[in-house]
Amino acid sequence: MNKWLKTILFLAGSALLTRFIPFSSLFRNLDTMIHEFGHALVTLLLSGKVLRIELYANHSGVTYSAIQAGGRAILVSLAGYPLASLFSLLLFYLYAKGRHQWGLVLATGVAVLMLLLYVRGSFGVLWLSGFIALNVAMVVFWKKVSKYYYLLLAFLTLEESVTGTLYLLSLALISPDRAGDASNLARLTPLPAVVWTLLFFGISLLCAKWALGFFFKGDKRRAQQS
C-alpha cells in the first residue's frame, strides 16, 4: 500500500477510535499548548515580549505578544502549527528509542513554564495544573501504565496537528479572514490565507508520515526484544 495512503487511513482510524476513550477530549489541549508555546518561543527568540497566553476548553488558544513589525511578526505567526507538528514527531521518535519518559518530562516542563509565566485564564490554569500533576504521577508512581498514557498523548497530538490544519484550510477557503494564523500571514505578506494553510497542512502530513514510521519501528524493536 502507498505510504501516504497508509498514513491517511491510519490517521482516520486513529481519530475515530480515540473518540471512544473517556476524557480524551481533555488531552487534545496538549496540541494547543505546544502551538501557543511555539508562538511564545519564537517571540522571545526574536527579542519580543510575551504578554500572556490563553487556553480554552474548545481546544483553541491565543498568544498575546509584542514584536517588531515585518519579518519578525511573520516568523511568529508561522511558528505555531509547524512546531506542534514537529512536537508530535518528536514524541514518536522518543517512543521508537524507548525514551517515552523523556517525552513526558519535556511536555511537563513546557506546561510548568507556561503556568508560571504566561497563562492566567481559569481554564488554562486548571488544565495545566491537572496535566502537570498527572504527568508527575505517571513518571513517579505509575510507570507500568505510563507507556500507554504516553501513546495516547502522542496519537492525540498527531491527530490534532493534522485535523487542525485541515480545519484551518476549510476556513481559509470559506472565510479567509477567520483563518487564524493564516489570516495574520495573509495580512503580513502578499500570499493569501489558503496558501499558508496548505503549507501548514503539508508540514503536518509529512510529520505524521514520519511519526507513524517511528511508531512501527518502535513496536518492531520491542517485538524483537521480547
Say what the pTM is.
0.90
Supply the pLDDT for residue 210.
Answer: 93
Supply the pLDDT for residue 9.
Answer: 76
Q: What's the CA gap between 184 and 186, in Å, rounded? A: 5
Q: What angle do CA 150, 151, 153 make, to 5 degrees?
A: 65
Q: Which grid cell sits at 155? A: 496519537
Query: Could you give the count of Cα atoms lying within 13 Å of 183 in the half-sphere of its Cβ?
Result: 12
Coil, helix or strand for 194? helix
Q: How many CB atoms lie within 10 A of CB 171?
A: 18
Q: Which grid cell sits at 57? A: 476548553
Supply the pLDDT for residue 11.
Answer: 74
Per-residue pLDDT in tens (0 to 9) along the chain, 226 residues? 567 777 777 677 766 666 667 677 788 899 999 999 999 999 999 999 999 999 999 889 999 999 888 889 999 999 999 999 999 999 999 999 999 999 999 999 999 999 999 998 999 999 999 999 999 999 999 888 899 999 999 999 999 999 999 999 999 999 888 888 999 999 999 999 999 999 999 999 999 999 989 988 766 665 555 5
Supply the pLDDT for residue 109.
Answer: 97
Coil, helix or strand for 142? coil
Beta strands in 15-150 (DSSP E): 49-55, 61-66
Supply the pLDDT for residue 15.
Answer: 67
